[in-house]
């Protein structure tokens, strides 16, 4: 097959793939999921609550909700049975991984790790009565905090 035909065929295939992906992306926008997500971010009933932290070797930095904003290694108030979305952002370019632990220091849940400055990592979990503390797997002496169990009822 001549080189020009091969290039033209590749260009057509690439264009077709791009069009298909764009069409699919357009079909998913503006759905009920987006409305649900916005409701959850604003604390809608029965929703998933959000926690945001910054990760740097000196400690986890509270970013959201307002009750932990600006605090180093803030105490996380969790309600057993409540779903949470915890997102942390790498602030220093070192490797970090958030671990949720029981009172004996045993791992209950952990996030993916991330070592690129600016990278965000999100984990979702349902709070349990066993949760007692959290830490970074790689910087456990400086990046650690307590979990306080609450009951909103």
pLDDT at position 36, please? 40
From first CA to last CA, the distance across the chain in angstroms is 73
Tokens matching residue 57: 């070797």
Query: Per residue in 90-118, pLDDT tens?
Result: 999 999 999 999 999 999 999 999 999 99
Residues 23-42 have a mean pLDDT of 43
CB 20 within 8 A of CB 103: no
What whole-number distance in Å separates Cα of residue 50 and Cα of residue 66?
11
Residues 114-126 have a mean pLDDT of 98
When comparing pLDDT for 11 and 104, which is higher?
Answer: 104
**Is residue 58 over pLDDT 50?**
yes
User: 46: left (phi > 0), else alpha (psi -120 to 50), else beta?
Assistant: left
pTM exceeds cut of 0.85: no
């Amino acid at each position: 097959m001549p080189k020009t035909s091969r290039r033209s065929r590749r260009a057509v295939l690439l264009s077709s793939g791009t069009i298909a992906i764009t069409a699919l992306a357009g079909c998913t926008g503006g759905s009920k999921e987006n409305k649900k997500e916005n409701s959850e971010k604003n604390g809608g009933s029965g929703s998933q609550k959000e926690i945001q932290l910054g990760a740097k070797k000196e400690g986890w930095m509270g970013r959201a909700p307002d009750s932990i904003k600006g605090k180093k290694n803030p105490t996380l108030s969790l309600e057993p049975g409540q779903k949470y979305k915890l997102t942390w952002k790498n602030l220093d370019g070192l490797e970090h991984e958030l671990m949720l632990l029981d009172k004996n220091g045993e791992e209950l849940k952990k996030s993916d790790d991330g070592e690129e400055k600016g990278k965000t990592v999100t984990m979702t979990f349902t709070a349990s009565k066993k949760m007692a503390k959290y830490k970074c797997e790689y910087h456990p002496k400086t990046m650690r905090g307590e979990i306080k169990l609450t009951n909103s009822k």
